[in-house]
Amino acid sequence: MWAILKFDRKNFHILQGDLKKKIGEDCIFYRPKILIKKFKNNKIIYKEIDILGDYIFCFHSNFQKRKVINQLKFTRGLKYFLDGFVEFQSNIKEFIEKCKKLENEQGFISESLFELKINSKYRFGSGQFADKIFKIINFNKNTINILIGNIKTTINKKEFLFNPL
CATH class of 2-101: alpha beta
Q: Which amino acid, one-letter code, is at 128? A: Q
CA distance 22 to 27: 10
- The closest of 13, 58, 69 to 31, measured between CA atoms, is 58
- The closest of 21, 27, 29 to 76, measured between CA atoms, is 21
Per-residue confidence band for 90, with pLDDT thresholds at 50, 70 and 90:
very high
Q: In the chain, what are the domain boundaries?
A: 2-101, 121-164
Chain segment 17-76, per-residue pLDDT in tens: 999 999 988 999 999 998 877 777 877 788 888 888 999 999 999 888 889 899 999 899
pLDDT value at 124 more than 90: no
CA distance 107 to 155: 23
